[in-house]
Structure 1
Amino acid sequence: MADEKDWPGLDPKPDQITYSASKLKNIAIDLARDYDVLTGTKAGSLQDFQLNSYVPKVVMDDEAKAVKAFFDAVAGGNEGFRTIYGKVVDQYRNAIGLLLAGAKDFDSLNQLMGGTSIVEDA
């Protein structure tokens, strides 16, 4: 395992900090493409998972308690995973928005410092 001293940039000096508004925007654009897949209908999307991972409720008599407990556990795990997947998709969207806002802020700072705008509104 690497020591912290092997990770460049952990303790940067102010003149060593750089940013690129255009790189941030390009990363956000790439993530937005992936987000479109996650929110679409193709395999791997949230909707695809919700449609194809349905676990039916099982009604059984008292003699099959272990089987019912197993099905209930699988159904609970499935519901938990659906919830988490949905939250991940929501946070993914938030991350894209934050990257775009950061790119815009860095671009504004660049303009204030006499540079030219390189990031259009997304």
Structure 2
Amino acid sequence: MDHLPPLPPPPRPRASPATLLAAQAAVATLVLALSLTPARGGTALMLPLSFRATPALSLAWARAHGAAVIGSGPYAGSLLLRLPPSTSTADALSHGAVMLSLPEALCGADRR
């Protein structure tokens, strides 16, 4: 009997285009979130996620965490803050707010 050529290996399963698109979206979202996260000791815009947020609640949270208030933000309850090194974005999320990195130059000279 003649030697037959070896059989090719079975094809590897491929990820579906939907799976690849979902993975790319997850990576893009993670990169965006990390790029907008303020540095400890930097300036940030605090945006409350609740419609019931008031400036007084935001101010109380900022003072309790040692953040210096630079001024009020563009939305009700939002604040421009200078964060102390000990404050993290997770602290703000547990309060129901998002911290976005903000260059100090955008805070305005009249707000210091």
TM over 0.5: no
Q: Which has the higher strand share?
A: 2
TM-score by length of 1: 0.25
Q: Which has the higher helix share?
A: 1
